[in-house]
Amino acid sequence: MIHYYYLHRETKDLISKPEAAVVADPAYFDSDFVQKVWKIDTTERVDGWILCVEALALGAKKERVFELKEKWGLTDEDAPELAKRAKLTLEKDGDQWCVKEGIKGAESTQVGFGATALEALADYARQGKIPEEMYDRI
Protein backbone atom coordinates (compact mmCIF):
# COMPACT_ATOMS: atom_id res chain seq x y z
CA MET A 1 0.00 0.00 0.00
CA ILE A 2 1.34 3.43 -0.93
CA HIS A 3 1.42 6.25 1.61
CA TYR A 4 3.14 9.58 1.69
CA TYR A 5 4.81 10.92 4.78
CA TYR A 6 6.10 14.41 5.26
CA LEU A 7 8.21 16.08 7.91
CA HIS A 8 6.75 19.35 9.15
CA ARG A 9 9.62 21.86 9.16
CA GLU A 10 8.59 23.69 12.35
CA THR A 11 6.89 21.09 14.56
CA LYS A 12 9.07 18.16 13.41
CA ASP A 13 5.93 16.03 13.23
CA LEU A 14 6.04 13.12 10.78
CA ILE A 15 2.62 13.06 9.13
CA SER A 16 1.04 10.40 6.91
CA LYS A 17 -1.18 11.15 3.94
CA PRO A 18 -2.93 8.51 1.85
CA GLU A 19 -2.00 8.23 -1.81
CA ALA A 20 -5.49 9.38 -2.87
CA ALA A 21 -5.03 12.76 -1.17
CA VAL A 22 -1.80 13.40 -3.04
CA VAL A 23 -3.19 12.18 -6.37
CA ALA A 24 -6.18 14.50 -5.94
CA ASP A 25 -3.89 17.48 -5.28
CA PRO A 26 -0.40 17.05 -6.84
CA ALA A 27 0.69 20.35 -5.29
CA TYR A 28 -0.25 19.14 -1.80
CA PHE A 29 3.31 19.27 -0.52
CA ASP A 30 4.24 22.59 -2.17
CA SER A 31 4.48 24.50 1.08
CA ASP A 32 7.19 26.13 3.16
CA PHE A 33 6.21 23.98 6.15
CA VAL A 34 7.10 20.75 4.34
CA GLN A 35 10.74 19.86 5.01
CA LYS A 36 10.84 16.50 3.20
CA VAL A 37 8.41 14.05 1.60
CA TRP A 38 8.70 10.28 1.34
CA LYS A 39 6.62 8.00 -0.86
CA ILE A 40 6.39 4.72 1.01
CA ASP A 41 5.33 1.31 -0.22
CA THR A 42 4.51 -0.43 3.04
CA THR A 43 5.29 -3.81 1.45
CA GLU A 44 8.93 -2.74 0.90
CA ARG A 45 11.00 -2.91 4.10
CA VAL A 46 13.70 -0.65 2.67
CA ASP A 47 11.16 2.18 2.27
CA GLY A 48 10.40 2.00 5.99
CA TRP A 49 14.07 1.95 6.90
CA ILE A 50 14.92 4.90 4.65
CA LEU A 51 12.06 6.99 6.03
CA CYS A 52 12.99 6.20 9.64
CA VAL A 53 16.72 6.82 9.14
CA GLU A 54 16.30 10.05 7.20
CA ALA A 55 13.46 11.43 9.34
CA LEU A 56 15.40 10.82 12.56
CA ALA A 57 18.50 12.39 11.00
CA LEU A 58 16.45 15.45 10.03
CA GLY A 59 15.16 15.91 13.57
CA ALA A 60 11.72 14.29 13.42
CA LYS A 61 10.16 13.52 16.77
CA LYS A 62 11.92 10.39 17.98
CA GLU A 63 8.76 8.88 19.49
CA ARG A 64 6.97 9.01 16.13
CA VAL A 65 9.90 7.53 14.22
CA PHE A 66 10.15 4.65 16.68
CA GLU A 67 6.38 4.15 16.54
CA LEU A 68 6.66 3.64 12.75
CA LYS A 69 9.73 1.43 13.18
CA GLU A 70 7.71 -0.86 15.45
CA LYS A 71 4.61 -0.73 13.26
CA TRP A 72 6.63 -1.87 10.24
CA GLY A 73 8.57 -4.51 12.18
CA LEU A 74 12.00 -2.95 11.61
CA THR A 75 14.45 -4.50 14.08
CA ASP A 76 18.03 -4.06 15.21
CA GLU A 77 18.56 -7.62 14.03
CA ASP A 78 17.70 -6.86 10.39
CA ALA A 79 19.37 -3.44 10.24
CA PRO A 80 22.83 -4.88 9.48
CA GLU A 81 21.44 -6.28 6.20
CA LEU A 82 20.41 -2.78 5.15
CA ALA A 83 23.85 -1.46 6.07
CA LYS A 84 25.59 -4.32 4.24
CA ARG A 85 23.80 -3.40 0.99
CA ALA A 86 25.27 0.09 1.36
CA LYS A 87 28.77 -1.33 1.93
CA LEU A 88 28.64 -0.36 5.58
CA THR A 89 29.18 -2.41 8.70
CA LEU A 90 26.66 -2.03 11.51
CA GLU A 91 27.49 -3.80 14.74
CA LYS A 92 27.40 -3.52 18.50
CA ASP A 93 30.38 -1.79 20.07
CA GLY A 94 29.95 -2.16 23.82
CA ASP A 95 26.52 -0.79 24.68
CA GLN A 96 26.27 1.25 21.45
CA TRP A 97 25.61 0.41 17.82
CA CYS A 98 28.32 1.58 15.45
CA VAL A 99 28.22 2.26 11.71
CA LYS A 100 31.55 1.83 9.97
CA GLU A 101 32.43 2.54 6.39
CA GLY A 102 33.57 -0.62 4.64
CA ILE A 103 32.86 -4.28 5.03
CA LYS A 104 33.26 -6.25 8.24
CA GLY A 105 36.81 -7.38 8.89
CA ALA A 106 38.42 -4.72 6.70
CA GLU A 107 40.02 -1.59 8.08
CA SER A 108 37.21 0.92 8.45
CA THR A 109 36.30 4.28 9.90
CA GLN A 110 33.71 4.58 12.68
CA VAL A 111 31.25 7.24 11.68
CA GLY A 112 27.90 6.74 13.39
CA PHE A 113 26.86 5.74 16.90
CA GLY A 114 23.58 5.20 18.71
CA ALA A 115 21.80 3.25 21.40
CA THR A 116 19.88 1.43 18.63
CA ALA A 117 20.79 0.46 15.10
CA LEU A 118 18.34 3.08 13.81
CA GLU A 119 19.96 5.83 15.87
CA ALA A 120 23.42 4.82 14.66
CA LEU A 121 22.26 4.90 11.02
CA ALA A 122 20.59 8.29 11.61
CA ASP A 123 23.80 9.62 13.18
CA TYR A 124 25.64 8.48 10.05
CA ALA A 125 22.96 10.03 7.80
CA ARG A 126 23.29 13.41 9.58
CA GLN A 127 26.75 13.58 8.07
CA GLY A 128 25.25 13.31 4.56
CA LYS A 129 26.97 10.04 3.80
CA ILE A 130 24.19 7.53 3.06
CA PRO A 131 25.31 5.66 -0.08
CA GLU A 132 22.84 5.16 -2.93
CA GLU A 133 23.10 1.38 -2.46
CA MET A 134 21.13 1.72 0.77
CA TYR A 135 18.10 2.54 -1.32
CA ASP A 136 18.19 -0.84 -3.09
CA ARG A 137 15.26 -3.09 -2.27
CA ILE A 138 15.82 -5.63 0.51
Question: What is the tens place of the pLDDT at every residue in 90-134?
Answer: 999 899 999 988 765 555 576 899 999 999 999 998 887 665 555
- 76 burial type by CB count under 10 A (0-12 exposed, 13-18 middle, 19+ buried): middle
Number of separate domains in the chain:
1
The residue range of the domain holding 45 is 2-135
Q: What is the pTM of this model?
A: 0.86
Residues of the chain by 3-state class (helix, strand, coil), percent to 5: 35, 30, 35
Q: In this structure, which amino acid lies at residue 8?
A: H
Mean pLDDT, rounded, for 19-37: 91
